[in-house]
Amino acid sequence: MFRISLSKVPLTRLVFPPIQNAQTRTVTTTVTDAVSRRPDIPSPRVPGKISTPQDFLKAIGRSSETKISIDSWDAFWRTSGWDMKNAGLSIQDRRYILWCMEKFRQNQPIETFAHEVRPKKKIRGRGPAVQFGKRIRSRRDR
The secondary structure element, H or E, covering residue 104 is helix 91-105
Domain boundaries along the sequence of the chain: 53-113
Q: Is the pTM of this model over 0.75?
A: no
* Predicted confidence pLDDT, tens digits, the chain (142 residues): 555 555 555 555 556 655 555 555 666 666 555 555 556 888 887 666 888 999 999 999 999 999 998 989 999 999 999 999 999 999 999 999 999 999 999 989 888 999 888 888 776 655 566 667 777 666 554 4
Which regions of the chain does DSSP assign to beta strands (E)? 130-131, 134-135
- Alpha-carbon distance 112 to 100, whole Å? 10
